[in-house]
Amino acid sequence: MTLQALIFDVDGTLADTEEVHRQAFNAAFLAMDLWWNWGAGEYMELLKVSGGPERIAHYVSRLDVPAQEKKRLAGLVPAIHREKTRLYHELISGGRAPLRTGVLRLLDEARAAGLRLALAATSTTANVEALVSAMLGPKALGWFSAVASADNVAHKKPAPDLYQRILGTLRLPAAACVAIEDSENGVRASKAAGLYTIATPSRWTTTQDFAEADLVLYSLGDPDAPLDPVTAKAIGAPQLGLGQIAALHAARAARAA
């Protein structure tokens, strides 16, 4: 089936946002008079838990504190996350999270070719809107025919709910779409929904398991930041463009026929 849409994850895939998220979490903890501080290594492990509130709740569940205190802290999770979200928006609006290499080029190629674009985000709709507006401009949300966020579905990644919602909005079968993700949970979600999936691990997710992905690249590449020679030879170009994605997608469809 002909490629008709690209579906991007947001955090870590469109932009390197995870350090900004980590800073916002730590600032929120300080604002809430908590003693927590998530270092880079600890945060890398916590990223295996999808969703901000879930991540905080998971952290609380592992604290070595009396049961009554743990219950009190668990009750604070929604307030902590609200404060974290407010602080994240402040940081993002200041341009603290750069787009990843090749993302803008690929978005432009897809738009020029008439492909539909969509976003499948594990974060909230407010976070998605803040990031897209800050990184791509205030009108960029109009580029996307479908946007599904964590607050739109019952189950977050690795469940396929976000992708199933997007496919329903686009009114396209999974076979007509390609997903681009940066995490193991994201890949598991898109594959569970039946999509050809390209994984672009970030520095935060590079140790995760991407065995289910159809293609793993540590960058999409750009003219001034080409892929390494081995990867470039494997995909037939110094950067991953729409032509290469369409060819890989078609080859997978032919094998499945």
Burial class (CB in 10 A: 0-12, 13-18, 19+), 27: middle
Is 151 among the catalytic positions? no
Q: Using only C-alpha atoms, what is the Rg of the chain?
A: 19
Report which secondary-structure segment, H or E, holds 112: helix 103-113
Upper half-sphere CA count for residue 182 (Cβ side, 13 Å): 26
Contact 41, 212 (CB under 8 A): no
Q: Do residues 175 and 197 lie in contact, with contact meaning Cβ atoms separated by under 8 Å?
A: no
Task: Using DSSP bridges, classify how beta strands 177-181 and 116-120 pair: parallel, antiparallel or unpaired.
Answer: unpaired
Are residues 206 and 47 in contact, defined by beta-carbon separation less than 8 angstroms?
no
Closest CA to 3 of 209, 246, 248, 254: 246
**Catalytic annotation, pick one of 11, 16, 182, 214:** 11
Tokens of 160: 């396929």
182: annotated active-site residue? no
Q: Among residues 16, 17, 45, which one has the least CA distance to residue 127?
A: 17
**What is the set of active-site residues?**
9, 11
